[in-house]
């Protein structure tokens, strides 16, 4: 046995993830299944500042990350977000902007990895009319557009050496020139950079300037992989199952026990993006109201259990269900319901495995 007809909790009336409309200074995590904690009926206030923009996660690693995000957001310090692909680096960058006094000013994203070397400077700093073939008009660069707001330098490790120097200068002096221009312009843009590369290694190999790394890395935020926070798999799956069910006009009650066991066991190399995509596909494929194992087209791998009776996964799925249900076994929002088992059966399994269900009461156990 393992997790769950993971009951999908009440949908937000706005249809938006919790966190979108939070006043500055409030940060929320979203309990997706079962009852929500606290008096708001939907949000679990964990930190004192910074909005989290629909970031789902209650594991202790995720709480620590969101706490750091909440603390750095209002400061204006440069932030370097690192992590594997699909771990939420861009979401965090947006949360930092949203939780800052610059929230009403522009958030400007530059994908440093997608720009041809010849256009990076013009994209970042703009150009004057006639500065190169095709420059028919004067054009503002991203740093100018981000003035007063935040510039998000995505895949910053891909920046060519010449632009690394120019970037260093903007960071140090807030000054730059447009391509083909002589006028020195000023900008006040808060910098958030992201990379899935190891920048220390890039510095050692001479591909990235160490002085630029120091400037960018005033405040590091390391996004955990989904493998490091498997306790969040059920929450995130439920969040997206509900979202896509609504979008597709389907009624989906939850995820079958064997499917949830497989989701928890899978190593998620593409992290949250991969989970999100697989859930969307499962919602499309589902014939009934429960997402079955066959609906999740999980790539084959040794970590995926063949049945829902794999003992190794039993503890993990029971704990995930208890966490989602905040320690409650009985009742419509209880863990037994979400696991599709009789409460008495679940209770005896909990005793046999020596799990302390009370530890999940206030979301204390992660
Ligand atoms: N904590 C979370 N809760 C719910 N959804 C999330 C969370 N983190 C990320 N996502 C979703 O996962 C997807 C990938 O997130 P994002 O684009 O921020 O990742 P990334 O780290 O920038 O990936 P890449 O390195 O591939 O650019 C997005 O659709 C995002 O909304
Ligand atoms: Mg990204």
In tens digits, the chain (366 residues) has pLDDT values of 333 344 443 333 233 333 333 333 222 322 233 323 332 222 222 233 334 567 888 899 999 999 999 999 999 999 999 999 999 999 999 999 999 999 999 999 999 988 887 788 889 999 988 777 777 888 899 999 999 999 999 999 999 888 899 899 999 998 888 988 889 999 999 999 999 999 999 999 999 999 999 999 999 999 999 999 999 999 999 999 999 999 999 999 889 988 999 999 999 999 999 999 999 999 999 999 999 999 998 887 544 444 444 455 677 788 888 888 888 888 877 888 777 778 888 888 888 788 888 888 864 554
- Tell me how far apart the alpha carbons of residues 59 and 20 are, in angstroms, rounded to a whole number: 21
**Does this model's pTM top 0.75?**
no
CB 335 within 8 A of CB 321: yes
The pLDDT score that the predictor gives to residue 238 is 92
Looking at ligand 1, which atom is closest to the CA of residue 62?
1
DSSP classification of residue 300: P
Distance between Cα 316 and ligand 1 center (Å):
24
Distance between Cα 180 and ligand 2 center (Å):
31
Question: Ligand 1 in contact with 87 (CB < 6 A)?
Answer: yes
Three-state SS string over 191-257 comes to EEEEECCCHHHHHHCCCCCHHHHHHHCCEEEECCCHHHHHHHHHHHHHHHHHHHHHHHCCCCCEECH
Question: Ligand 1 in contact with 89 (CB < 6 A)?
Answer: yes
Alpha carbon nearest to ligand 1 atom 18, residue: 88
Question: Ligand 1 in contact with 17 (CB < 6 A)?
Answer: no
**CATH number belonging to the domain at 226-360, selected among 1.10.490.20, 3.90.550.10, 3.40.640.10, 1.10.8.60:** 1.10.8.60
Question: 102, 97, 95: which is closest to 46 by C-alpha?
Answer: 95
Question: Ligand 1 in contact with 273 (CB < 6 A)?
Answer: yes
Structural domain boundaries in the chain: 75-222, 226-360
The phi, psi pair for 6, rounded to 5°, reads -70, 110
Looking at ligand 1, which atom is closest to the CA of residue 272?
12
CB 121 within 8 A of CB 144: no
Looking at ligand 1, which atom is closest to the CA of residue 275?
12
CATH class of 75-222: alpha beta
């Amino acid at each position: 046995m393992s997790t769950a007809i993971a009951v999908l909790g009440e949908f937000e009336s706005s249809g938006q993830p919790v966190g979108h409309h939070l006043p500055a200074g409030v940060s929320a995590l979203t309990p997706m299944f079962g009852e929500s904690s606290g008096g708001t009926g939907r949000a679990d206030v964990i930190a004192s500042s910074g909005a989290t923009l629909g970031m789902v996660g209650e594991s202790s690693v995720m709480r620590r990350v969101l706490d750091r995000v909440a603390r750095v957001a209002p400061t204006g310090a440069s932030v370097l977000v690192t992590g594997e692909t699909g771990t939420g680096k861009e979401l965090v960058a947006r949360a930092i902007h949203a939780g800052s006094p610059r929230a009403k000013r522009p958030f400007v994203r530059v994908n440093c990895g997608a720009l041809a070397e010849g256009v990076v400077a013009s994209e970042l700093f703009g150009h004057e009319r006639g500065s190169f073939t095709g420059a028919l008009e004067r054009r503002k660069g991203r740093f100018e557009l981000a003035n007063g707001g935040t510039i998000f330098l995505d895949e910053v490790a891909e920046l060519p050496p010449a632009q690394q120097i120019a970037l260093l200068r903007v960071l140090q002096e807030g000054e730059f020139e447009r391509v083909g221009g002589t006028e020195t312009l000023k900008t006040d843009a808060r910098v958030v950079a992201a990379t899935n590369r190891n920048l220390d290694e890039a510095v050692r190999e001479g591909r990235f300037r160490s002085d630029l790394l120091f400037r960018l890395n005033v405040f590091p935020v390391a996004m955990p992989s989904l493998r490091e926070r498997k306790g969040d798999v059920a929450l995130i799956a439920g969040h997206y199952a509900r979202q896509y069910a609504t979008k597709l006009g389907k009624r989906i009650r939850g995820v079958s026990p064997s499917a949830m066991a497989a989701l928890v066991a899978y190593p998620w190399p593409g992290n949250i993006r991969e989970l999100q995509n697989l859930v969307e596909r499962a919602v499309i494929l589902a014939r009934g109201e429960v997402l079955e194992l066959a609906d999740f087209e999980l790539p084959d791998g040794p970590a995926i259990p063949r049945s829902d009776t794999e003992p190794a996964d039993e503890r993990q799925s029971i704990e995930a269900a208890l966490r989602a249900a905040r320690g409650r076994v009985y009742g419509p929002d209880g863990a037994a319901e979400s696991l599709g088992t009789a409460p008495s059966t679940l209770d005896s399994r909990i005793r046999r495995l020596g799990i302390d269900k009370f530890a999940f009461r206030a979301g204390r156990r992660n």
